[in-house]
Amino acid sequence: MQDKGVRIIWVYHITSLVNSVGHIWGNQAWNTGDLSKNNWWLGVLLFGEGWHNNHHAFEYSARYGLEWWQIDVTWYVIRCLEAFGLATNVKVPTDAEKVKKSFVISNNTL
């Protein structure tokens, strides 16, 4: 019984951690119109959930770690499930969708 309570409390704390730290510390890779941030240590600690700005930019995506260096254990599990036919219609953002959400730096000169 106590073990179940500890697990529930752990999940609540982790959710709060992502929702608070993920909006305070880190960097924004995508223009989402909010304060969501990618935080590398949360990404590692929480198996990919720390890539919070990526999540806000592409909410439908099964992959939150969009860069090769962004560890996303959940994505690796989903890929394995897909390989065994246990996950289908897995969605990730296309390059065109990424360009649309990126912070665009103009090369125009004055």
Contacts of 30 (CB under 8 A, 6+ apart): 53, 54, 56, 57, 58, 98, 101, 102, 103
pTM over 0.85: no
Structure tokens at 7: 């697990």
Pairwise CA distance, residues 89 & 1, whole Å: 38
Tens of pLDDT, residues 19-36:
888 889 999 999 999 999
Q: Is residue 44 over pLDDT 50?
A: yes
The predicted-structure confidence for 45-71, as pLDDT tens digits, reads as follows 889 989 999 999 999 999 999 999 999
What confidence tens digit (pLDDT) does each residue in 64-94 have?
Answer: 999 999 999 999 999 999 999 999 999 999 9
